[in-house]
Structure 1
């Protein structure tokens, strides 16, 4: 039986709606809430943005998928968490309303698992070690016995959050994203500045690196002498050094997980996974271990609706009754662990 799933993603500053039919992406439009340089995005304003564009985005997703009515959708999928509370609630409320209007089942999807299932779909990776790197999450994951097991993770801030906060210090544009603009500056960097390197077993810590590199950034409040001392380090050098240090830590724990699991594939997912330098460093490690890197581009790496539709499709297809969740179960959770989900759709 053919199943057409629509997925709604809005856990952070990106809102996306995607349509999947039996593993084929029919549409996947996305809209990003962009704040001025030097500023992050607040939950209440992000939620306001999502509510203002979600219906237009829905119309665009249906049009691109050549679907004339929501009656032709079999299951509605939405991001249950993790993420920012207010944006999550906006999207969940719209999904609950539409699903009841059209009498359709609802499936709540773990955001992290959405990334993994989209990565598996696009790259055809069989049983990879997953490096999940984004603005809110940093995890090393592998599948075992009906769960996505977390082998290592950040013990403070996520790698994407570290990059975003450094971009704000440099007053870099948030368009298309802070991490992308750091990546472009890093390509021009020539001098490596030694930064703290904090790997603790299979876990990593990024807050100390961020605190340390702040001391190299020139601000208007500093004395003339301090500014002269810091001007020997260009912003390009700082971006280059930060990337090299952060990504080296991620490659180290990924290699350790590969050895432990005995896998020969690494799947990189999440917004930071688009970074070409991270992919290059991971590829070099994998070559030395006779393994392969499975990476996807910004269409599916960055938060999107199709990834929620794909994971929801898998969950719905594996269910025994085909009824989806009860309405009272369609809640949101800002802290929804990857390993809390029973993975019924994999052997």
Structure 2
């Protein structure tokens, strides 16, 4: 009766019989995809992470002993909680009468956290599966310079999620980092706006170029991703209208060519400009002087900077079409690859 797919879990639980923990576990085993659920009933709280580990969720504890849960560890500091641990893929935790009980609702688990959690979604001060977001983004900027160097006068990042990568690119290249773009803090993320008109209006309201910094300069503009291309095109124009001599765009993620079916609002292949245009064609479309994306190997290396401690792998489906779940039969998959879906 609503537009939220979370409602499905509620219906499944109501149809099951037995103890609540069994009803929830049986229901979770009927779901295939990405989720991090908090289920509150009269006398208990249940928290579950999907069996692929696509979405992160962490547990903390307040000084009074109460348990708290969040998709990002940065929330714990706000409420004065201490980080305890991350929930494992396929794990369910019950908190009842101040006591915590944990179990796996399935043994069919794969640890493949979404790469975009590190690239775009999360705050830099969060740790996901023990990996710091700012560190990964900074390393991706350094890796991006190694893969796609350019001769320029200054490096700027598109605020806010690209600042860390821009700092990394600046450090690796020796090109000074400057604040060439200013963000209006009262505008939401344009990427998730529902219509194209709202996204373009959001970009106009959200960013302004600092003319005194970029005028007559060769600028390296670091951004976290290109989805539809409209935001990048608008920002390049902003910088050139502000007097930038050259704008070289470097993207701290591989090209997004495939739709995400795990909770991100980009459901059709027609929306993804990198699926339709080559890097050279996209460079021309956004009116940049050059354009380069980090490689899949480069982003994996940046996120898994300590292989001994971080053994989880990444979901890179939006970059390479290799989905964690079985979404289609072979006929439909071929239609997707040909751009017919």
Relative to the length of structure 2, the TM-score reads 0.34
Structure possessing the higher relative contact order (Cα contacts under 8 Å, 6 or more residues apart): 1
Structure ID, larger Rg: 2
Structure with greater helix share of residues: 1
